[in-house]
Structure 1
Amino acid sequence: MASPSQHSEPTSGVPAASFPVLPDYRGSCLSNVVPALLGPPDAADWLPAPVREAKAVVLFLIDGMGWEQLQDRAELTPVLSAMEGGPITTVAPTTTTTALTSLVTGAAPGEHGLIGYQIYIQGQVLNALRWTAGPKSSDARRAIVPEQIQPRPAFFGRRVPAVGRSEFQGTGFTRAHLDGVDHKGYKLTSSIAVEVQKLVDEGEPLVYAYYDGPDRIAHEYGFGPYLDAEFAEVDRLVAQILAVLPSEAALLVVSDHGQVMVGDNKVELARDVLALTAVTSGEARFRWLHARPGRAGELLAAAAERYGRHGLVVERQQVLDEEWLGPHVGPEARSRMGDVALVPSDPVAFVEPKPEPRSAAGGGGRPVFELLGRHGSLTSAEMLIPCLAASGTRS
């Protein structure tokens, strides 16, 4: 079995203890993966060699599988540990809606505008993953048309086949980030390798596949035996895909974000802070506070006094100046930003003073549970993701 040291040199030289870890938007970043795959050969020397040499590539995003969590489970993931590559950065905030959109559009969050899990837009807060809004969390697909909110085409307009869960087809978020792709739905994980083999054998030069097991497990069960078992299962899934790919094809494994174990470490927003706040958006580990008119300065001071010990409390201009959302932030994205951002380095979640029951990502009808593993912030555990590749092994 390969050890973590047998990966090629990491493509991101970020010490694990650094905070904040900012996205490398001009280099080895999730938002640059698809432009590199569709660009000239060797245009991005940070991509693993098997990808640069392949005639066909399967781009496999595994939701919630951060680089640090993968390294902690190297003994459970011998196939992934033997692949070439290393860590790259994801985008900010480290959340699924933002990162998946950056991956498939090749654009930083400031350009595509889906800047969080909850986005303040048209005077209300949109849950971008479920595409619901309002006090009753109503379906917002008519009032907030997904293709208009995020109009950039996936894969630069190429009709790339996308293998994902059948129940995600037609959802607001799928329409927002994967409009125009050739959807290939699966109901069971065992179908992923079958669909991928079929598409590659039919001559597709690029196939996109998505699997969300680690994210779901970490949210519901936290870090422990359930997550260990899921990483081992992911490794078997990767082995299945490699086994059905010919040697001239390559599998490229990436993720959208890592995770931290938060558990019950919730920090309720104080009344004096909420009195200065008109609305909150974002997520519990990248919480935007939208100030009441004329109160932004007071809000920044109050929030910094209350929460500065947990990490960063920054004003909107610092986020722009330091290019957290990318070198260019368009007017739509700017209008969706809050005035103050709470971005913790501690394993805490900033919540409003009320219960926050959540269901698993992907829709209604699932049991409600409290999130244990979380993401959104700029710690290395959340920001660093794998970029690993290997050639197919089918003879």
Structure 2
Amino acid sequence: MGVPDGVASVAVEVYDDGFACLAARDAALLARADVLAAAAPSGPAVSEARIGVIVSSARPEPATARTPWWRSVLARLNSRAVRTHFGTVAGVVILGALLWHLGTGVLLDGLRGIDATTLVVSLLIGVATTVLSAWRWALVARGLKIHLPLGPAVADYYRALFLNAALPGGVLGDVHRAVRHGQSAGDLGRGVRSVVLERVAGQIALTVVGTAMLLTMPSPVLGEVRHFAPLVGLAAVGALAVVVALRMNKAPSRRGTRLRSTLAEAREGLLSRRNWPGVTISSLLILAGHLGMFVLAAKVAGSGASVAVLLPLAVLALVAMGLPLNIGGFGPREGVTAWAFGAAGLGASSGVAVAVVYGVLSFVAALPGAVVLVARWYTSLKAGSGAAPEPDGAYARPSSEVSSEKIAPKESARLASSSLPFSAEPSEGRPMTPESV
């Protein structure tokens, strides 16, 4: 190959030592490089015309762009503290603005009209609606294969109503009821879903009955409802058709499997053959109780409107109560009722008075929940003093459709429930107060 013998012998020696097997080829390449370097013209490697300025110091970094003020405001509005207290602040602002604009004279006159008979009637209405709500909850839980006796369900429902009325937001009682029931039953997710489905049943009844009332009875929104109802119906049908088509042409995924499982539980809890009659009847009777409470509040506040006029206004007030921008229910309900009464020619001040009286009567109807709190607080104190506690077996017995291993509460779930406020577990030994929520 034209490689000198000395180079070849070196390559053989290197190869023998195990360091390289291509040393001969490398030597040839080096020799060729020397020839090319000798033939290159002499002179500088780079022409003087292409020599630039040598920078001895680093280029300064550009100034960092300042964050726009509106982004800072949005970041603060999206903070956890603002999200937590936004509903309470909104309720206070709405109620304060109404009282400042309309005055407190009509409001005080309405509150003076509350007598002992009114309080007794509101308590009786509360008993009826609470027992029916607990029965509906027990039916939904049974559909989800969770055993829930009616007695403990009534006590827990009363406690949740009282916490909803006494604490900001209006939902903390239901949250506590869901978590405690799920941990006591040994299946937190299924227990929470039973509470959610029970509340969904009430909202469905309000939507169906309320829409029928607003479409057929005179109200400030009669024209708007009749105009938008067909469009909303067509949009709902079209959206349902699109969802069905996508599900038929899409391969099953983990999210789709979870959605189908949730829909199956909802169908079993609300629409099964043995559940839907009880869920439907209880939901309608509960709604009738709330509407009756509103009519009673209107009569106590001095409104002379007929029941036919008051019922659509009551539906609007109940819809406004579902917004989480209130203090124990006060806030949007008063604003919407003031507007509805004013639009109906009954006076905005009268609407505020009716809404406030309704809130007071609803709070009175939920007062037995305070008795439940005190009783369980005393039980917890008694257990902490060394008295032998009775086992809490309210949710321990499994349903007849499932085995006891799946439904009976485990020891870990019972210990975990002690971290919840207002827990009825007698082994806690600490007081239960609303401030701990």
TM-score, reference length from structure 1? 0.28
Tell me which of the two structures has the higher relative contact order, counting C-alpha pairs closer than 8 angstroms and 6 or more residues apart. 1
* Structure with the higher strand share, 1 or 2: 1
TM-score, reference length from structure 2? 0.26
Higher-Rg structure is 2
* Structure with the higher helix share, 1 or 2: 2
